[in-house]
Amino acid sequence: MLVLTRKTNESIVIGDQIVVTVVEVRGDQVKIGISAPSQVPIHRREVWEEIKKGNVRSTAKPADMDRAAKALGQGAPKKPGPEGNRP
């Protein structure tokens, strides 16, 4: 991992099209601004991980669902009873 030190209003450049700027530092929080083309997805890591989990679930075959759920630490998916998923 590359670690850089920046002050407020200083930036780093990633490639030719992405600029990350330190907007504010307050206590243990840092506010950053990111300039990138609209086709470049930008997410907080925890959001990205949820998207990734959702993609695994939506592309898995039914036979793979138990394995995928276990890999994600969620146990086996619930199977509908004789009446389906009705409450």
How high is the mean pLDDT in each 10-residue block of the chain (87 residues)? 96 97 96 97 93 77 64 60 53
Q: What is the chain's Cα-based Rg? A: 20
* Report field, pTM of the whole predicted structure over 0.75: no
Token pair in block for residue 86? 């009705």
10 CB-side CA count, 13 A: 6
C-alpha–C-alpha distance, residues 7 and 50, integer Å:
31
